[in-house]
Chain A
Amino acid sequence: MPDRKRKRKIFMLHILLLTTLLFAFYFFTLGPRPWPGVDEAVVEKIAKEHGRAVRKPFIDPGEGDLLLFAFLCAGAVGGFAAGYYWRKLVGEKPTEAGRCKKE
């Protein structure tokens, strides 16, 4: 069946994509470098050379996993918002009601 074939194709594409991503992430971990951000490697380093140091942020997440949790939440909210609006944009056919001006 063409529909079944299409589903299988999509499934295979996802498998391929996931393994490629996994390999890419694994490849990056093999590198000897600690992969610092450019804020650390450039901005903060040069600022320090000129006597400017980073201050603690207004809401300090500290050293533990709290920041990771915050980023996870932000990613989840941002991702779902993006998905929701994308679906709203492409999932609905354009209607005159959507285009009309508010009176």
Chain B
Amino acid sequence: MKKFLPALIFLLLATPAHAMHISEGILPFNWAAVWFAVALPFLALGLRRLNSLAQDDLSFKPLVGLMAAVVFVISCMPIPVPTAGTCSHPCGTGIAAILVGPLVSVVISAAALLIQALFLAHGGLSTLGANIVSMGVVGSFAGYFTFRGLRMVGASLGVAGFFAGLFTDWATYLATSVELAAGIRGDSPFLPLSGKIILAFIPTQLPLGIVEGAMTAGMVVLLSRKRPDLLIRIRVIKEQKEAVHA
């Protein structure tokens, strides 16, 4: 029963998502193409990194598989925010970036977003590039650098994980606001419009970012207790810290 509990929880949470991915047709063609062009180099580098890592270390594959499933499920899991009366979802790219690296996290989020756009009417094919850039590229790199930066200044695993998740979420919505403002503004000035979108996101995303931070911290800490050797190998923790944990 215990083994099936995570799957059961995910099953119970699977409902049509109301979320932040930019829907089909919202962005004009030229802007959609720009975001595809921005996303492509990251995707190519991510695929290259994924191939080289999979060849070097066989135990890397289950971790990538786990992260792919986690990002896919988390990014279509609507969470109601009582303070705003709306629903939105976390991204999950922060935890993926910490554990498998930001470039591989871009590939994972691209795959998740493609499946969601094709089969779940969540996001869109024309806006796939923009969604990859916001959730995959910006979210992953924001989470990764926050985590590494905080670890460098001596923050604990939990604290670094929390802020990585928090900034992943907020950075993703910031990027979505910029993409949306750039695409739909027409003759309107860019900055006031992007500010308006950011402000509209705040009541929902501010608390949701905290939830994502807690989730990220929990997952990193849990994995560090269960498989410290793996976290040492992927350079999330250092060897002497495993001895402290043990």
Binding site for B on A (CB under 8 A): 10, 14, 21, 28, 31, 33, 35-44, 46-47, 50-61, 67-68, 70-72, 74-76, 78-90, 94, 97-102
Contacts between the two chains (Cβ within 8 Å), count: 209
Q: Which residues of B contact A76 (CB under 8 A)?
A: 7, 10-11, 14
Report how many residues on chain B are interfacial, defined by Cβ distance under 8 Å: 79
Cross-chain contact of A58 among B125, B176, B197 (Cβ < 8 A):
B125
Sample of 16 more A-B contacts, CB < 8 Å, known A21-B12, A55-B23, A71-B16: A33-B85, A41-B204, A43-B20, A43-B23, A43-B26, A47-B180, A50-B193, A52-B27, A52-B183, A54-B23, A58-B124, A71-B17, A81-B69, A89-B66, A99-B58, A101-B57
Residue of A nearest to B67 (CB): A85
Q: Which residues of B contact A88 (CB under 8 A)?
A: 62, 65
Determine how close the nearest CB of chain B comes to the CB of A86; give it in whole angstroms: 6
B68 touches A (CB below 8 Å): yes
Majority secondary structure of chain A interface residues (helix, strand, loop or mixed): helix
Contacts A43-B23, A101-B56 given; does A37 touch B117 at CB 8 Å: no
B37 touches A (CB below 8 Å): no
Inter-subunit contact A36/B11 (CB<8 Å): no
Beta-carbon contacts under 8 Å, B94-117 to A:
115-117
Inter-subunit contact A78/B73 (CB<8 Å): yes
Contacts A44-B23, A72-B11, A85-B65 given; does A37 touch B73 at CB 8 Å: no
Cross-chain contact of A37 among B17, B22, B193 (Cβ < 8 A):
B17
Q: Which residues of A contact B191 (CB under 8 A)?
A: none
Cross-chain contact of A61 among B121, B226, B230 (Cβ < 8 A):
B121
B28 touches A (CB below 8 Å): yes
Tell me, in angstroms, the Cα distance from A59 to B73 when the chains sit together: 20
Residue of A nearest to B20 (CB): A38
Cross-chain contact of A81 among B24, B25, B68 (Cβ < 8 A):
B68
Q: Which residues of B contact A72 (CB under 8 A)?
A: 11, 14
Cross-chain contact of B62 among A52, A89, A97, A102 (Cβ < 8 A):
A89
B3 touches A (CB below 8 Å): yes
Binding site for A on B (CB under 8 A): 2-28, 55-59, 62-63, 65-66, 68-70, 72-73, 76, 78, 80, 82, 85-88, 115-121, 124-126, 176, 180, 183-186, 188, 193, 196-197, 200-201, 204-205, 223, 226-227, 229-230, 233
Inter-subunit contact A60/B57 (CB<8 Å): no
Inter-subunit contact B227/A57 (CB<8 Å): no
Inter-subunit contact A79/B10 (CB<8 Å): yes
Tell me, in angstroms, the Cα distance from A94 to B69 when the chains sit together: 22
Determine how close the nearest CB of chain A comes to the CB of B14; give it in whole angstroms: 2
Cross-chain contact of A74 among B63, B80, B115 (Cβ < 8 A):
B115
